[in-house]
């Protein structure tokens, strides 16, 4: 009888060595052809795309290959009157891209390139009565946006500008019986949302509210025979969950509950030896998103050739040290 | 195939118009797609409409998308004016090709705010986009905004109707009552349409988190406390999940429904009114979504005949909470046995058993704090077959993992003494629901282990056993 378990099989010829130079070349060249159709399709998230690329370059010690000035000018042009920042020029502002922009400027130690007070005003204005955050003026509520809000304000040192207690109350209302979190109260637990909520609770000093054993168990059940991690039961493994799941485990002090060697082997197998970069699973097309989370995942697993990454903010630890930001982690 | 800027301009404008005209010609288009077609046929439109399917030939997409994309952004930056009709057509084209382009949906929100677009148009456009992009987060997000506009509109109408009612005394004039009824029917139709859209998207992509979380959102906002809707959903999803045993989101939806039904049925009396605004509309003339015979009476707070007669069928003709849990656990057991090795089914069992266990603990706590006078209420929900009692007695001899019994199962057994009404039921041939206890779950585990030959099934049943011991067994 065939196996029912959804998983991949890593081929014997899959990459086993970390090809950092190839990845740096891949990211450095990405987006150089702006007429590319795929590039246009993804313009709606460009600011986040830039954050993924720049962060992975910094983790690999290659940030200097990117154009700091061009990027700073681009970000300035994306700040709107309301203070919010858009994904690209002419697009509408949103919390997601406001966070990405602040993260990028933090890498460059240049947050004052934008109007910080206006950013804070924008974030503040998105908090709802029940403590939740809307993503933008149109009102969609999602725990991801709570994370974006506190992460942005933490990087700017302005957490006091929102009602933290109410914000915490809302996040806790999204905690499910399995210890996990969904996008809204009553929603299914999902590794991505769990990352956002544990990150949120870390930044607000509320990690003691997490049931670490229960959640840790749910998270380590994400590891499959291939060594890869999925985001929910019976989903295929995906390198980006090597980040969402792994970082969450690190935050709640249970990273030793997964098989690190097998996960490392899976992540390495997701590299493309020809083009550089990582894909979601072995053999698929690469992209900057999976490249960041592959490298960041390896960093969390102890890869020495890569800088230490902070599990809460997915930024190099040395950048956060410079800012003076040290989010809580459970031991 | 080099084309000059003017040629591209002309071509794209024609294509955008062709798409708009296709919708005008056929308002029943129900699916979109790209037709693999590497080269243009001479002088023929790349827009193909066959029956109710709208196709775009692939050769033109690489011209079309960047062009309309940039045109919209130039408008957004106030560098180029676009009239309302152009905005409608361009955003329509864009979103059929790239429905995650948030800004394009936002332009349509603004068009809706100034009356150029009606909400139904965007529900339709979104529905089409989802046929090709069933996960598209921005499409679902926009959909929720549109539904909120619809809810707000109906609320405003409802309020003005109510105000008139109050001014004119108890009986609203027939015209207002009819309008209220029409409104309620509209809400019911909208609700059911949403269920269909979610269903279609769930079929198109396995474990579609966005589709199912939208479905939950819709019930939370448009069917608050409506027991009939929740129960109908639970019934209608039974077959679907049986055919999609890996769909974790589908099963989670059932957990959500159970949780809501449990909460509602544990209060008295539950509401069956469609939520158009806040809950204080419960006593209004708005009937339930697909009205059972007594809905009007119930909406006015009167007991149905079944209710007045006794509690055997539970309130308002719905199953009791124990019956619901029993049915769900049975469904779960059947599927676990028919489809060995599916983590989703075991995950579902954990959830359902946890909810059941929690509900029973709450009922006991409620009873013990009120003394024995409430025992009727509890026993009705917690009736035991004598055989099950014997089983739990036998199991009490086994200690689990070498550990002794915790106090909780003892209290459960004391509370589930045979009820005299059970023997009456048995005589009538109506078996009371068998409760699912920790001992019976361990018994189930043993049964699966004995029968199982599938490695994955063994892995999951052992994990379930561990969960029973760790999470349930150690609860106060």
Do B330 and B467 have their domain in common? yes
Residue pair B122/B106 in contact (Cβ under 8 Å)? The answer is no
Which residues in chain B are closer than 8 Å to A173, comparing Cβ atoms?
Answer: none
Same-domain status, B99 and B229: no
Across the interface, of B248, B351, B453, the residue whose CB is closest to A232 is: B248
Asked whether residue B69 is assigned to any structural domain, the reply reads yes
pLDDT tens digits along A5-62:
899 999 999 999 999 999 999 999 998 877 778 899 999 999 999 999 999 999 999 9
Indicate the residue among B117, B136, B154 that finishes a domain.
B117
> Parallel, antiparallel, or unpaired for β A278-279 and A286-287?
antiparallel
Question: What is the nearest CA distance from A306 to chain B, expressed in angstroms?
Answer: 33
Q: Where are the alpha helices (H) located in chain A, listed in sequence order? A: 20-29, 37-41, 46-59, 68-77, 95-107, 116-125, 143-156, 164-172, 191-203, 212-220, 241-251, 260-269, 288-300, 317-323
Angle of the B386-397 helix axis to the B407-415 helix axis, nearest 10 = 160
Q: What is the pLDDT of residue B303?
A: 39
Average pLDDT, chain A: 96
- Scan residues 386-405 of B and list those with Cβ closer than 8 Å to A: none
3-state helix, strand, coil in chain A (%, to 5): 50, 5, 45
A2 in reach of chain B (CB within 8 A): no
Tell me if B402 is assigned to some domain.
no
Suggest the residue from B69, B140, B337, B343 to mutate for an interface test with chain A (most A CBs closer than 10 A): B343
Decide if B350 touches A, using CB distance below 8 A: yes
DSSP state of A271: B
Q: What is the pLDDT of residues B440-450, one digit of tens each?
A: 999 999 999 99
Q: For residue B158, is pLDDT > 80?
A: no
**Cβ atoms of residues B271 and B288 within 8 Å:** no
A166-175, A268-277, B415-424: the lowest-pLDDT one: B415-424
Instruction: Please indicate if any CB of chain A lies within 8 Å of the CB of B124.
Output: no
Task: Categorize the per-residue pLDDT at B318 as very low, low, confident or very high, splitting at 50, 70 and 90.
Answer: confident
Residue B48 has pLDDT above 60, yes or no: yes
In a domain? residue B314 = no
Contacts with A251 (C-beta within 8 Å, 6 or more apart), sequence order: A198, A199, A202, A207, A311, A312, A329, A330
Handedness of CA A252, A258, A264, A270 (dihedral sign): negative
Question: B342 and A234: CB-CB below 8 Å?
Answer: yes
Q: CATH 3.40.640.10: does it fit domain A20-323?
A: no
Residue B219, CA distances (Å) to B88, B231, B244, B273, B276 in order:
30, 12, 22, 12, 11
Strand A286-287 versus strand B47-50 pairing type = unpaired
CA distance B246 to chain A (A): 6
Q: Are residues B235 and B107 in the same domain?
A: no
Residues of A in contact with B76 (CB under 8 A): 90-92
Instruction: Specify whether the CB–CB gap between A195 and A248 falls below 8 A.
Output: yes
B69 in contact with A at a CB cutoff of 8 Å? yes
Whether B302 maps to a domain, the answer reads: no
Asked if the C-beta of A44 comes within 8 angstroms of chain B's C-beta atoms, the answer is yes
* Whether the predicted interface score ipTM is above 0.95: yes
Q: Which two tokens stand for residue B328?
A: 């769900």
Task: Dump pLDDT digits (tens) for A287-307.
Answer: 999 999 999 999 999 999 999
Nearest to B106 among A3, A138, A190 (CB): A138
Tell me the pLDDT band of B404, cut-offs 50, 70 and 90: very low
Q: Identify which of B76, B100, B453 has the shortest CB distance to residue A44.
A: B100
The pLDDT, as a whole number, for residue B408 is 36
pTM attached to this predicted model:
0.86
> Which tens digit of pLDDT belongs to each residue from B344-362?
999 999 999 999 999 999 8
Q: Which of B143, B215, B252, B465 to mutate to test the interface with A (most CBs of A within 10 A)?
A: B252
Bridge-partner residues for A175, per DSSP? A181
Q: Are the Cβ atoms of B216 and A232 closer than 8 angstroms?
A: no
CA distance B105 to chain A (A): 10
- Could you give phi then psi for residue A36, rounded to 5 degrees? -60, 130
**Which of B213, B342, B458 to mutate against chain A (most A CBs within 10 Å)?**
B213
CB pairs under 8 A between A and B: 103
Q: Which whole-number Å values give the CA distances from B298 to B187, B233, B273, B303, B304, in the listed order?
A: 19, 20, 9, 6, 7
B291 has pLDDT over 70: no
What residues in B contact A178, CB-CB < 8 Å? Answer: 350-351
What is the enclosing helix (H) or strand (E) of B380? helix B375-382
Cβ separation of A140 and B141 shorter than 8 Å? yes
| Chain B residues near residue A87 by CB distance under 8 angstroms | 102
Number of domains in chain B: 2
Question: Which chain B residue is nearest to residue A3, measuring alpha carbons?
Answer: B456
Instruction: Provide the shortest C-alpha distance from residue B471 to chain A (in Å).
Output: 8
In a domain, B345, yes or no: yes
Report yes or no on B46 lying in a domain. Answer: yes
Question: In angstroms, what separates the C-alpha of B303 from chain A's closest C-alpha?
Answer: 31
B242 contacts B339 by C-beta, under 8 angstroms? no
- Chain B environment of A188 (Cβ under 8 Å): 209, 212-213, 248-249, 252
pLDDT tens digits for A199-233? 999 999 999 999 999 999 999 999 999 999 999 99
Set of chain B residues whose Cβ sits within 8 Å of the Cβ of A44: 98, 100-103, 138
| B350 contact partners, CB below 8 Å, separation of at least 6 | A178, B464, B467, B471
Hey, which residues 192-211 in chain A have their CB within 8 Å of chain B?
none
Selected residues 56-115 of chain A with any CB under 8 Å from a CB in chain B: 86-87, 89-92, 94
Q: Which long-range contacts (CB under 8 A, 24 or more apart) does B397-404 make?
A: B398/B442, B400/B442, B400/B469, B400/B473, B401/B469, B403/B473
Q: Which of B101, B216, B339 sits opposite A186 (nearest CB)?
A: B216
Q: Residue B432: is its pLDDT beyond 80?
A: no
SS3 call for B323: helix
Separation between Cα atoms, residue B322 and residue B318, nearest integer Å: 11
Q: Which residues contact B6 (CB under 8 A, 6 or more apart)?
A: none
The per-residue pLDDT for range A239-257, each reduced to its tens digit, is: 999 899 999 999 999 999 9
**Angle A314-A318-A321 (CA atoms, 0-180°, nearest 5)?**
100
* Tokens 């656990």 -> residue: B329
Both structure tokens of B265 = 């049925």
- Is A177–B213 a contact, with Cβ atoms under 8 angstroms apart? no
Instruction: Mutation target for B interface from A77, A140, A142, A194: give the one with most B CBs within 10 A.
Output: A140
Closest-CA residue to A35 (of B191, B70, B300): B70
Residue with tokens 């002090």: A253
Q: What is the CATH number of the domain that holds B461?
A: 1.25.40.120
Q: pLDDT tens for residues A59-81?
A: 999 999 999 999 999 999 999 99
| Residue A320 pLDDT class (50, 70, 90 cuts) | very high
Tell which of B117, B137, B152 closes a domain.
B117
Say how far residue B162 (Cα) sits from the centre of its chain: 30
Q: Which of B102, B145, B358 sits opposite A139 (nearest CB)?
A: B145
What pLDDT shows up at residue B104? 98
> In terms of DSSP H, where are the helices of B114-173?
119-132, 137-167
Cβ-Cβ contacts under 8 Å for B56 (sequence gap 6 or more):
B15, B19, B32, B33, B34, B35, B46, B47, B48, B64, B96, B97
Are A78 and A101 in contact by the 8 Å Cβ rule? The answer is yes
B20-40: burial string, b at 16+ Cβ within 10 Å, e else: bebbeeeeebeebeeeebeee
Whether B306 is in a domain gets the answer: no
Q: Find residues 89-118 of chain B whose CB sits inside 8 Å of chain A.
A: 98, 100-103, 106, 109
Task: Find the domain containing B232 and state its range.
Answer: 225-266+322-362+435-475
Q: What local confidence, expressed as pLDDT, does residue B290 receive? A: 42
- Whether residues B347 and A233 touch (CB distance < 8 A) is answered with yes
What's the mean pLDDT in B380-384?
A: 39
Query: A139 and chain B: CB distance < 8 Å anywhere?
Result: yes
Minimal-distance CA residue of chain A relative to B61: A37
Do the Cβ atoms of B103 and A183 come within 8 Å?
no
> Is B37 part of a structural domain of the chain?
yes
- Is B351–A178 a contact, with Cβ atoms under 8 angstroms apart? yes
Q: Which of B117, B134, B151 is the last residue of a domain?
A: B117
Considering only the C-alpha atoms of chain B, give the largest distance between any 2 of them, rounded to a whole number of Å. 89
In chain B, % of residues over pLDDT 70: 71
Residues 6+ apart with CB under 8 A from B249: A188, A232, B202, B207, B208, B209, B211, B212, B213
């Amino acid at each position: 009888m065939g196996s029912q378990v959804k998983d991949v099989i890593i081929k014997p010829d899959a990459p086993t060595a970390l090809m950092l130079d190839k990845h740096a070349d891949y990211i450095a060249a990405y987006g150089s052809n702006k007429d590319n159709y795929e590039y246009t399709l993804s313009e709606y998230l460009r600011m986040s795309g830039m954050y993924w690329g720049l962060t992975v370059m910094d983790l690999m010690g290659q940030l200097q290959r990117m154009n700091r000035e061009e990027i700073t000018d681009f970000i300035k042009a994306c700040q709107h009157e309301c203070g919010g920042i858009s994904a690209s020029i002419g697009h509408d502002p949103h919390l997601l891209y406001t966070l990405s922009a602040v993260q990028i400027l933090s890498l460059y130690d240049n947050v004052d390139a934008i109007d910080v007070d206006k950013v804070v005003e924008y974030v503040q204005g998105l908090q709802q009565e029940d403590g939740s955050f809307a993503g933008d003026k149109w009102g969609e509520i999602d725990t991801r946006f709570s994370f974006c809000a506190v992460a942005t304000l933490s990087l700017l040192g302005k957490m006091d500008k929102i009602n933290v207690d109410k914000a915490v109350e809302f996040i806790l209302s999204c905690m499910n019986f399995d210890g996990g979190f969904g996008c809204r109260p009553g929603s299914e637990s999902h590794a991505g949302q769990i990352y956002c909520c544990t990150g949120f609770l870390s930044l607000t000093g509320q990690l003691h509210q997490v049931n670490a054993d229960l959640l840790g168990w749910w998270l380590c059940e994400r590891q499959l025979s291939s060594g890869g991690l999925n985001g929910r039961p019976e989903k295929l493994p995906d390198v980006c969950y090597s980040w969402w799941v792994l970082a969450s485990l690190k935050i709640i002090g249970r990273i030793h509950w997964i098989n690190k060697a097998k996960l490392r082997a899976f992540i390495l197998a997701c590299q493309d030896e020809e083009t550089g970069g990582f894909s979601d699973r072995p053999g698929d097309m690469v992209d900057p998103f999976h490249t960041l989370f592959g490298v960041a995942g390896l960093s969390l697993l102890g890869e020495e050739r890569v800088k230490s990454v902070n599990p809460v903010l997915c930024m190099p630890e040395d950048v956060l040290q410079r800012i003076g930001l040290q989010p809580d982690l459970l031991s | 195939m080099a084309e000059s800027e003017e040629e591209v301009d002309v071509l794209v404008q024609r294509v955008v118009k062709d798409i708009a005209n296709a919708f005008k010609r056929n308002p029943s288009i129900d699916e979109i797609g790209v037709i693999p077609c590497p080269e243009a046929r001479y002088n023929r439109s790349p827009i193909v409409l066959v029956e109710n399917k709208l196709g775009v030939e692939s050769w033109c997409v690489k011209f079309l998308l960047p062009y309309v994309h940039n045109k919209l952004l130039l408008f957004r930056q106030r560098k180029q004016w676009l009239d309302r009709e152009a905005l409608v057509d361009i955003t329509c084209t864009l979103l059929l090709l790239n429905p995650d382009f948030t800004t394009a949906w936002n332009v349509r929100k603004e068009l809706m705010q100034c009356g150029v677009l009606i909400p139904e148009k965007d529900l339709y456009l979104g529905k089409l986009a989802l046929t090709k992009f069933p996960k598209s987060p921005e499409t679902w997000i926009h959909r929720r905004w549109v539904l909120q506009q619809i809810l707000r509109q109906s609320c405003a109408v409802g309020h003005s109707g109510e105000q008139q009612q109050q001014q004119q005394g108890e009986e609203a004039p027939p015209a207002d009552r009819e309008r209220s009824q029409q409104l309620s029917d509209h809400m019911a139709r909208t609700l059911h349409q949403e269920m269909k859209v979610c269903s279609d998207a769930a079929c198109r992509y396995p474990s579609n988190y966005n589709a199912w979380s939208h479905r939950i959102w819709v019930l939370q906002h448009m069917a608050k406390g409506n027991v009939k809707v929740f129960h109908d959903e639970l019934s209608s999803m039974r077959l679907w999940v049986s055919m999609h045993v890996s769909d974790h989101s589908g099963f989670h939806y059932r957990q959500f429904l159970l949780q809501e039904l449990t909460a509602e049925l544990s209060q008295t009396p539950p509401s069956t009114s469609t939520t158009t605004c806040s809950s204080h509309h419960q006593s209004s003339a708005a009937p339930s979504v697909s009205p059972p015979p007594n809905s009007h009476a119930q909406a006015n707070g009167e007991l149905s005949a079944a209710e007045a007669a006794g509690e055997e069928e539970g309130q308002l003709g719905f199953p009791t909470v124990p019956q619901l849990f029993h049915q769900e656990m049975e469904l779960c057991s059947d599927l676990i046995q028919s489809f060995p090795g599916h983590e989703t089914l075991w995950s579902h069992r954990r959830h359902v058993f946890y909810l059941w266990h929690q509900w029973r603990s709450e009922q006991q706590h409620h009873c013990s704090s009120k003394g024995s006078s409430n025992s009727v209420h509890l026993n009705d929900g917690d009736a035991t077959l004598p055989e099950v009692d014997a089983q739990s007695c036998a199991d009490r001899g086994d200690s689990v993992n070498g550990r002794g019994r915790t106090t909780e199962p003892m209290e459960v057994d004391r509370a589930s003494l045979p009820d005299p009404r059970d023997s009456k039921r048995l005589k009538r041939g109506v078996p009371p629901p068998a409760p699912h206890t920790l001992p019976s779950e361990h018994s189930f585990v043993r049964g699966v282990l004995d029968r199982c030959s599938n490695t994955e099934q063994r892995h999951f049943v052992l994990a379930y056993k561990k969960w029973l011991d760790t999470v349930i067994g150690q609860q106060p």
